[in-house]
Amino acid sequence: MTAEEATTPQVERPPASVAGPWGWARANLFSTPWNTFLTLASIAVLGWALPPALDWLIFNAVWGHVKPEVCKQADGACWAFISEKYRLILFGRYPFKEQWRPVLAVCALIAMIIFSCNRRFWRAWLGAVWLAGLAIFGTLMWGGVFGLMPVETNLWGGLPLTLILAVVGVVVAFPLSILLALGRRSRMPIVRSFSVAYIELIRGVPLISLLFMASFMLPLFLPNTIKINALLRAQVAIIMFTAAYLAEVVRGGLQSIPKGQYEAAQALGLGFGQMMWKVVLPQAIRAVIPPIVNTFIGMFKDTSLVAIVSLTDLLLATKQAISDPNWRAFFIEGYVFVAFIYFIFCFFMSKYSQHLEKSLRAGERR
Amino acid sequence: MADQDRTIHVPPRPSPWNDPKIRAIIYQIVLIAGVVALGVFLVSNTLTNLQQRQIRTGYGFLDQEAGFFIGETLIPYEAASSYGRAFLVGLLNTLKVSVIGVVLATILGTIIGIARLSQNWIVRRLSSAYVETLRNIPLLLHLFFWYAALTNLLPDTERAANLGLNIFLSKEGLRYPWPEVEPAHIWALTALPFGIAGAVAFSKWAHARQMKTGRQIPLLWPSLAIILGVPLVVWLVGGAPAQFEIPEKTNFGHDGGAAVTPEFMALILGLVTYTASFIAEIVRAGILAVSWGQSEAAGALGLRRGPTLRLVVLPQALRVIIPPMTSQFLNLTKNSSLAVAIGYPDLVSVANTTLNQTGQAIECISLIMAVYLTVSLSIAGAMNWYNRRIALVER
């Protein structure tokens, strides 16, 4: 035996029963009788449900532009319904010839959101980018300048309406929520009680009651000379609602900041504004970014409630597309399509929040 | 010199403008003034507007005849009943949906939450897929989908599908046999609280006994026997009536027995499947929060699996689970207001109809808000009390 042979470690492969696909299956699928039963039962359920579902969704489905009569004879889904109605679903009653404008507007909005996802761009100038993005969106949608045909907000609909309700909701509600959270932790009793009352009042009632309030009561509250349109009214309700929920999240972040940070800031001679803006808030908000994104997801889904007060958002536009008597039988296709759109947005946000959670915690890892 | 050193340096009083106390008072006065001014502005506008549009004010309309029909009611109601009674019917419908929804969503959510921690890879994947899909789709879309599916895809009323045991499913909803009302049933129901009280007394006695003698007395089965046994005995003494009213086929579908409408079914299906996806995540997080060492320690003390779960793991997991769970229950209750979109006569839907008939928006919406606020705040109060009770007491 040479010296070399003696030092070479004899790597023994693990036995086939614990490594490789067989070992994996034993550990994850057949480790106990109950586990084996679960595996067989779920395979049976999948085998029973999946093939018909796939047949319906893809293999037997009708694609392209065809008459509803063709669809009625097929066994599968009628995606022709979507080809026929996708413009109504995505853009509502926006003038047909002008629909390139909402396309561009939505693209601008989405590009801006994706741009802001990069943490390197989290600087003060990002606010200016957002203002510019919203200005582009507004110009494209409203028109009336640069030779664009003016389009009233009551004709807006579909995806741009849903997105703008969500984006403006976030942009306005977020600063409001910080003020409310600071107010709730303030030492001034009156400021504190106003904040608590507002937050608890709004969180205690359903969003739909706020939307009703905005659409039926707001016109009564304001003088006759001020007319505000339905979109703005719904937007006000969404902002009020989101601000209250976000305020509680931000308060959680503020509570997580140790007292020493406040004291250190004061010892440096910072005033209240500087202390909050430069020391406390950056840490507090960083600590609660994942729940903030969760609130955004909830709020994005909640914009669909404006359908109840007759704003043609993505959901109501779909419902209108389905109400066409020729295509009424294909409601499942319509709802699946729009569910998929909502899903993409929410899924992207939740994955992004998980990613942020991980990368923000990078510094705390040992 | 020495005297001078001993003087205490009092910092100069800040100018009034820089004094935090005076500033705080000024800020609060400004806030009050702002809020009062806004209030006066809104109220005066509202009063002029109401006058101009000749809308009546006050809650007097609650005594007037409602004049609209409500599809499903828990208490007797007809179109000639008052608006107040209509509101009560709506409130009871909201509570009915919420209670049934909370129970079902908890059961489904717990099963899925546990399945997400299963050793079995397929079960784990399937339950994750359920959670990820369902909670990323708006609830209103769920409701529209279920309502459209139930009213379009189910068989017509004349050809209602018999699911066995004389349960019939059709576009009109679900119709099932229901025991005919007999005095014995009511006596049995009245006996139920006594059964529960008996079980509580029994568990107190068993506990005292264990403290005294150190011997454990089985609790679960005897308590169940007491809870169910007392009403059963009352029912047997009352003659044990077991007449069921069975749905009968008529020319227009089925009649008799009890029924739930497709609106109710769609609302329950949507609320339960949606909320369960959130509850599943809460249950999962709660179980993960109890470290494995706790179960091992319990095992080392000689506890078997059942007592380990009941005495060690669950009490700690529940501490994590219950606060977010309550907020999900509240969410479900508030979300049941989406019933208005599919025509289930809940509180919001009744208020909406009333609002359209009387034009008294402020009164109707304030009633909705007051009811939901009462429910939310009382549950939140109960939760705070409970949280204080179970909070960890540290040194």
The answer to whether position A60 is within a domain reads no
The answer to whether position B146 is within a domain reads yes
Same domain, A197 and A335: yes
Same domain, A204 and A285: yes
Same domain, A84 and A190: yes
Number of domains in chain B: 3
Spatial contact of B346 and B93, defined as CB atoms under 8 Å apart: yes
The answer to whether position A7 is within a domain reads no
Same domain, B267 and B336: yes
Same domain, B252 and B199: no
H or E, element range at B233:
helix B220-237
Same domain, B176 and B194: no
Same domain, A141 and A164: no
Give me the pLDDT at residue A321, please.
86
Best of A43, A48, A215, A216 to disrupt the B interface by mutation (most B CBs within 10 Å)?
A216
Number of domains in chain A: 2
Distance between CA atoms of A341 and A158, rounded to whole angstroms?
11
The answer to whether position A343 is within a domain reads yes
Best of B140, B152, B328 to disrupt the A interface by mutation (most A CBs within 10 Å)?
B140
Same domain, A355 and A224: yes
Spatial contact of B177 and B245, defined as CB atoms under 8 Å apart: yes
DSSP, res A78: B
Domain stop point among A113, A133, A150:
A150
Same domain, B252 and B362: yes
Contacts of B38 (CB under 8 A, 6+ apart): none
Distance between CA atoms of A276 and A282, rounded to whole angstroms?
8
Same domain, B162 and B127: yes
**Which member of B46, B341, B380 has the closest CB to residue A220?**
B46
Distance between CA atoms of B268 and B102, rounded to whole angstroms?
10
How many A-B residue pairs are in contact by the CB < 8 A criterion? Answer: 154
Q: What is the pLDDT of residues B64-97, one digit of tens each?
A: 777 777 878 777 777 777 888 888 888 999 999 9
> B262 or B7: whose pLDDT is higher?
B262
Same domain, B303 and B378: yes
CA terminus-to-terminus distance, chain A:
44
Same domain, B323 and B372: yes
Same domain, A281 and A347: yes
The answer to pTM > 0.80 is: yes
Residue A218: name the closest of B49, B349, B373 by CA.
B49
Distance between CA atoms of A58 and B29, rounded to whole angstroms?
66
CB contact under 8 A, A329 and B27: no
CB contact under 8 A, A209 and B365: yes
The answer to whether position A202 is within a domain reads yes
Spatial contact of B227 and B195, defined as CB atoms under 8 Å apart: yes
Spacing of C-alpha A145 from chain mean position: 31
Question: Residues in chain A, how many?
Answer: 366
The answer to whether position A197 is within a domain reads yes
**CB-based burial label for B363 (10 Å; 0-12, 13-18, 19+):** buried
The answer to whether position B109 is within a domain reads yes
Give me the pLDDT at residue B128, please.
92
CB contact under 8 A, B140 and A308: yes
Residue B267: name the closest of B170, B366, B337, B339 by CA.
B339
Q: Strands B178-179 and B248-250, how do they pair?
A: unpaired
> What would the mean pLDDT of B5-9 be, rounded to a whole number?
66
Give me the pLDDT at residue B62, please.
76
CB contact under 8 A, B120 and A39: yes
Question: How many other C-beta atoms lie within 10 A of the C-beta of residue B36?
Answer: 10
Domain stop point among A135, A150, A165:
A150
Q: Strands B178-179 and B244-245, how do they pair?
A: antiparallel
Distance between CA atoms of A301 and A315, rounded to whole angstroms?
10
Q: What is the pLDDT of residues B145-184, one digit of tens each?
A: 999 888 888 777 777 777 777 777 777 778 777 777 777 7
Domain stop point among B53, B75, B93:
B53
**Which member of A43, A204, A223 has the closest CB to residue B372?**
A204
**Which member of B145, B365, B372 has the closest CB to residue A216?**
B365
The answer to whether position A239 is within a domain reads yes
**CA angle (B252 as vertex; B247, B253 as ends), nearest 5:** 40
Same domain, A287 and A321: yes
The answer to whether position B66 is within a domain reads no
Q: Give the torsion through C-alpha atoms of B160, B162, B163, B166, to 10 deg.
A: 120
CB contact under 8 A, A221 and B121: no
Same domain, B267 and B167: yes
Copy the structure tokens of residue A359.
Answer: 């990368």
Domain stop point among A105, A123, A150:
A150
Spatial contact of B175 and B259, defined as CB atoms under 8 Å apart: yes
Distance between CA atoms of B114 and B284, rounded to whole angstroms?
6
The answer to whether position A109 is within a domain reads yes
Q: Give the torsion through C-alpha atoms of B300, B304, B305, B308, to 10 deg.
A: -60
CB contact under 8 A, A203 and B376: yes
Same domain, B95 and B7: no
Give me the pLDDT at residue A154, please.
79
Using a CB-CB cut-off of 8 Å, the residues of chain B touching A42 are 120, 122-123, 126
Same domain, A224 and A255: yes
The answer to whether position B234 is within a domain reads yes
Domain containing B336 — which CATH number?
Answer: 1.10.3720.10
**pLDDT band with cut points at 50, 70 and 90 for residue B138:** very high
Per-residue model confidence as pLDDT tens for chain A (366 residues):
455 555 666 777 777 667 777 788 877 778 778 888 888 888 999 999 888 888 888 777 777 777 777 777 777 777 877 777 788 888 888 877 777 888 888 888 888 888 888 778 777 788 888 888 888 888 887 777 777 777 777 788 888 899 999 999 988 999 999 999 999 888 888 889 999 999 989 988 999 999 988 888 888 888 777 778 888 889 999 999 999 999 999 988 888 888 888 899 999 988 888 888 888 888 888 888 888 888 899 999 999 999 888 888 888 988 888 888 887 778 888 899 999 999 999 999 888 888 887 877 766 654
Judged by DSSP in three states, B121 sits in: helix
| Residue range(s) defining the domain that contains residue A286 | 80-93+156-361
The answer to whether position A56 is within a domain reads no
Best of B29, B49, B136 to disrupt the A interface by mutation (most A CBs within 10 Å)?
B136
CB contact under 8 A, B45 and A221: yes
Spacing of C-alpha B70 from chain mean position: 23
Same domain, A243 and A170: yes
Same domain, B221 and B346: no
Give me the pLDDT at residue B360, please.
82
CB contact under 8 A, A342 and B138: yes
Using a CB-CB cut-off of 8 Å, the residues of chain A touching B144 are 315, 319, 335
**CA angle (A320 as vertex; A316, A325 as ends), nearest 5:** 155
Q: Say yes or no to pLDDT of B105 above 50.
A: yes
Same domain, B212 and B324: no
CA terminus-to-terminus distance, chain B:
51
The answer to whether position B134 is within a domain reads yes
Continuous H helices in B238-313: 262-289, 292-300, 305-307
Distance between CA atoms of B49 and B41, rounded to whole angstroms?
12
CA atoms within 13 A on the CB side of B130: 24
The answer to whether position B73 is within a domain reads no
Same domain, A123 and A243: no
**pLDDT band with cut points at 50, 70 and 90 for residue B275:** very high
Domain containing A234 — which CATH number?
Answer: 1.10.3720.10
Same domain, A125 and A264: no
| Residue range(s) defining the domain that contains residue B23 | 2-53
Same domain, B153 and B236: no
